[in-house]
Amino acid sequence: MCKEIQHKSDGKMGEVLRFAIVGVIATLIQYGVYFVLVLCLIPTLAMTIAYAVSFAFNFVASTRYTFRVKASARRGAGFALSHAVNYVLQMLTLNLFIWLGLSKQWAPIPMFAVCVPVNFVLVRYFLKVKK
């Protein structure tokens, strides 16, 4: 029974669960840093700094824990590319939600709802791509 549960956790559902755990932690790091910095910086700059802090954690956790792959220059470049796309999407949606009237402190919440699923697909592709 335990091996059956472990086997299932090693499959795609386990990967999704591990992504969710790492994603929640990375998102909390990003949002926490943003929430503090936005008190004295413009939202785009605050989110950029928060994104960089979260990115560092996310790469290590994604390679070692979520997708269980060895970090390499190729995977790092793919991860950075996927996050570059995600960063642009986050900046666009953050500023859209602020423009729509959400406060700068709360605008990241719907932004994350849009960007996290897109990020999963991109990161999974670039970290799991075969050589």
Residue 131: the pLDDT is: 52
Judge whether residue 124 has pLDDT over 90. no
Contacts (Cβ under 8 Å, ≥6 apart) of 114 = 89, 93
pLDDT tens-digit readout, 80-106 = 888 898 899 999 999 999 999 999 999
**Counted domains in the chain:** 1
Most confident of 9-23, 89-103, 116-130: 89-103
Residue 16 belongs to domain spanning: 2-128
Instruction: Bin 119: left if φ > 0, else alpha if -120 < ψ < 50, else beta.
Output: alpha
Please enumerate in sequence order all residues whose Cβ is within 8 A of that of 46, keeping only pairs 6 or more positions apart, or say none: 33, 34, 37, 38
Q: What is the pLDDT of residue 130?
A: 56
Q: Tens digit of pLDDT for each residue in 35-75? A: 999 999 999 999 999 999 999 998 889 888 887 778 778 77
